Amino acid sequence: QKEVEQNSGPLSVPEGAIASLNCTYSDRGSQSFFWYRQYSGKSPELIMFIYSNGDKEDGRFTAQLNKASQYVSLLIRDSQPSDSATYLCAVREYGNKLVFGAGTILRVKS
Amino acid sequence: NAGVMQNPRHLVRRRGQEARLRCSPMKGHSHVYWYRQLPEEGLKFMVYLQKENIIDESGMPKERFSAEFPKEGPSILRIQQVVRGDSAAYFCASSLTSGGPSDTQYFGPGTRLTVL
């Protein structure tokens, strides 16, 4: 069973700070990685995907991928209280299914 | 509404009854996935379907659960003889293709199933 590991948190950051969310995965052959945000009682919402080593930026979000270390991260700059949610890391397995981590709870305090 | 649609949003069943969950993918999407999220747990893959075909059902419980995606109409996840342990949020996702590295799955609002 392929595994995706995340620190469950909660991760607390002050408003305006950078939030750093981390994820490791067990399958060295994994190619595509996704970050979803899930508010309590709601469905997962896609934030970003990444499949090449390095950084990918989209607005206040930056995804970072290091395949050699089997590590993917999400940075949120200028964190806002509305960013408070659970962040899910997902890895696509062969056959197209997503394997999710348990999620990291982020709390942004104003 | 061009997003993934699911109904009902909330479903209450008594033990032993049947539950039918429906999912209409995003417009133009022909790949449908079902995931289950048990209380205080992560999302778990259940099944992957294309029109009239089950592609991967490796996450489906062996008994009582079935899924279909007919040529016409929504995808259906069916749970027979529900038990309390089936209480969960069931999410449907859809994607445009199945092969590209950037192919992404978009989730519907989910069906919250409660078994009394």
Q: What is the pLDDT of residue A19?
A: 97
Measured CA distances, B95 to A31, A60, A98, B65 (Å): 17, 25, 12, 23
Per-residue pLDDT of B8-21, as tens digits, reads 999 999 999 999 99
CB B67 within 8 A of CB B34: yes
Q: How confident is the model at residue A110 (pLDDT cuts 50, 70, 90)?
A: very high
What is the pLDDT averaged over residues B73-79?
Answer: 97
- Cβ–Cβ under 8 Å, residues A37 and A47: yes
pLDDT band at A2 (very low <50, low <70, confident <90, very high): confident
* pLDDT for the residue numbered B99: 65
Which chain B residues are within 8 Å of A48, Cβ to Cβ? Answer: none
Output the six-digit token pair for A108.
């942004």
For range A10-35, the mean pLDDT: 95
pLDDT tens-digit series, residues A23-76: 999 998 888 999 999 999 999 999 999 999 999 999 999 999 999 999 999 999
Q: Residue B59: is its pLDDT beyond 70?
A: yes
Nearest CB to A97 within list B33, B101, B103: B33
Cβ contact (<8 Å) for B43 and A34?
no
Q: Identify whether the C-beta of residue B110 lies closer than 8 Å to the C-beta of residue A43.
A: yes
Q: Give contacts of A 8-67 with B, CB under 8 A.
A: 31-32, 34, 36, 42-46, 49, 51
Average pLDDT over residues B43-68: 95
Contacts of B93 in chain A (CB under 8 A): 98
> Which residues, in sequence order, are bridge partners of residue B106?
B94
